[in-house]
């Protein structure tokens, strides 16, 4: 079976609160082929069946509701209890996460300022990650931060210089 393991990432949604930050297949949750522990999310999960059927029992996920043609909208805490793989998951508030406000989604461009996603002091994404060898080397604090930039460090420069 396919496996997807994600660590130290931020999955965010802004503007419309009912849009998903993560769209996931129910089979991946029950088969534990998707593991997003040590990630942060600001938004909701949307679950669907691979065949498009409505076979996911919303009673398993308190507070959830079906959206026709989309899937089952699931609150983070309900998803966490059922999935059993999110013991170290962090729920973040996109509006209070970064030093600078993110531009509206429709204003995103390929080239953005290097300091766009620097974490704000006091953010619960600081020290909420886990060590990933060769990726998080040199982190500051008790653990790596969530997201691409370590708090208190300059934004890294990738590519040609």
Looking up tokens 């990630």, which residue turns up?
39
Cα distance between residue 56 and residue 26, in whole Å: 7
Question: Residues with Cβ < 8 Å from 52, sequence gap 6 or more?
Answer: none
Instruction: Going residue by residue through the chain, which has 161 residues, state the pLDDT in tens, using 9 for 90 and above.
Output: 567 788 999 887 654 445 555 666 666 666 667 778 899 888 766 776 655 555 677 787 788 877 777 777 777 777 777 777 677 888 888 888 888 877 666 555 555 666 678 899 999 999 999 999 988 888 999 999 999 889 988 766 667 76
Task: Please work out, in degrees rounded to the nearest 5, the angle formed at the alpha carbon of residue 158 by the alpha carbons of 152 and 161.
Answer: 110
Q: 3-class DSSP state for residue 22?
A: strand
> How confident is the model at residue 17, as a pLDDT?
47
**Alpha helices of 20-75 — where are they, by DSSP H?**
26-30
Task: Work out the end-to-end distance of the chain between its first and last CA atoms, rounded to an integer number of angstroms.
Answer: 41
How far apart (Å, rounded) are the C-alpha atoms in residues 108 and 123? 23
Give the closest residue to 82 by CA, choosing from 30, 44, 37, 145: 30
Instruction: Return the structure tokens found at 115.
Output: 């300091």
Polymer length of the chain: 161
Q: How many CB atoms are located within 10 Å of the residue 148 CB? A: 15
């Amino acid at each position: 079976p396919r496996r997807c393991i994600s660590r130290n990432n931020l999955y965010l949604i802004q503007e419309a609160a009912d849009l998903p930050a993560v769209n996931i297949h129910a089979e991946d949750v029950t088969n534990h082929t998707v593991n997003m522990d040590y990630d942060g999310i600001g938004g909701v999960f949307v679950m669907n069946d691979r065949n498009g059927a409505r076979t996911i029992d919303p009673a398993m996920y308190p507070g959830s509701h079906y959206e026709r043609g989309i899937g089952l909208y699931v609150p983070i805490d309900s998803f966490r209890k059922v999935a059993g793989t999110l013991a170290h998951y962090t729920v973040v508030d996109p509006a209070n996460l970064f030093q600078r406000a993110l531009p509206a989604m429709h204003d995103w461009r390929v080239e953005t300022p290097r300091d766009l996603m620097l974490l704000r002091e006091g953010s619960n994404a600081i020290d909420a990650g886990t060590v990933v060898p060769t990726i998080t080397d040199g982190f500051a604090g008790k653990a790596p931060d969530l997201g691409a930039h370590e708090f208190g460090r300059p934004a890294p420069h990738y590519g040609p210089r």
